[in-house]
Amino acid sequence: MFLTYETNYDLLKLNKKVKFLLKANKLELNERNFLKMSLEFASKKSDYAAALIANEEYVFQCTGRNIIFPESNELIKSIMESRFDISEGFNISFPFNSFVIAMPRDSYIKPLLVSFIDKETRAEQVNKLGFNEDAAILSVLYRDDKNDVIKSVLKKNDVPKILDSKNFYDFQEKYTTANIQDSKLKSCEHMFNAVKFACSLMIYHSACGGMMEGFPEWDRVRFPKHSKKIDYSGHVIVDTISNDDCLDVVNVKPHFRNLKDPRFYTGIYSDIEPGSRWTLVSEHTKTRR
């Protein structure tokens, strides 16, 4: 079974207190009015993170409710173990500005809500977050075991470090000097896995394609309570790694190479941001050569 990300509106829209507050303010029950109420509460508490979460969930609900399904646990494992050739000038492109990545119930990665911070809104948002104007590119939300929303915002220079690390502890050893309390290690590990998978999956999609319209036919999907399949747009990312003839060798791990040369951004690719295309290279094939 696939699990999807549940917004606060999904969880609270039938809550008696929420319905009472909306009615008291002569507001109908809908996403827009729920956002308005959420932002007012966040403002009273000076909780900027809560305001961003409310806004990102609202954008997802109002821009097609796109959900991406990785085809299998094997694909998730392959993507998380992939190697990346990253140098200056790289970019990551996203099929939608806001989307959910659904995950199998037994996955160690939680369902994610991914928000791409495009150039038009970047300056306004990232200045409040304390980043350089062109630094922030991605926001990832997920719910922890207590059902609280965890938010992580990535700066562009964070991405190579995350993709270069096998896991959180490898990342910690290579790139951090902070002393993290033992009680917070598990939370940091979940956050690392979330942002690494979101970035890696988009690179995989850029290099291999294979995204098909629709929902998984081989497994059930658990949508948020009181929601229906028709409320969402489904997209399945197919496992092209294990099915590729050139990768028909045991223990082959994908190697993603960033395409930076201007010739890769002509013709049908002329509208794509330079540095955002990737190609899949077989480590085995490269060795044999």
Per residue in 173-191, pLDDT (tens digit) is 888 766 777 777 888 899 9
* Token duo for residue 8: 């606060």
Domain count along the chain: 1
β-strand partners of 143? 149
Rg (CA), the chain: 20
The DSSP element (H or E) to which 41 belongs, if any, is helix 31-44
242: CB partners within 8 A, 6+ apart: 74, 75, 78
The 10s digit of each residue's pLDDT in 31-81 is 989 988 888 888 888 887 888 888 899 989 989 999 999 988 889 998 898
Please state, in angstroms and rounded to a whole number, the distance separating the CA atoms of residues 99 and 56.
10
> Which long-range CB contacts under 8 A does 124-127 form with residues at least 24 apart?
125/52
Domain span at residue 213 reads 2-288
Looking at residue 221, what is its pLDDT? 94
User: SS3 for 107?
Assistant: coil
User: pTM to 2 decimals?
Assistant: 0.80
Phi/psi at 153 (nearest 5 deg)?
Answer: -110, 130
* Token duo for residue 76: 């998730």
Please state, in angstroms and rounded to a whole number, the distance separating the CA atoms of residues 35 and 147.
19
Return the closest-CA partner of residue 94 out of 77, 115, 113. Answer: 115
Please state, in angstroms and rounded to a whole number, the distance separating the CA atoms of residues 97 and 99.
7
268: CB partners within 8 A, 6+ apart: none
Spatial strand order in the sheet of 2-3: 103-104, 2-3, 221-222
Residue numbers of the chain with a pLDDT score lower than 70: 87-89, 117-137, 177-178, 241-255, 282-289
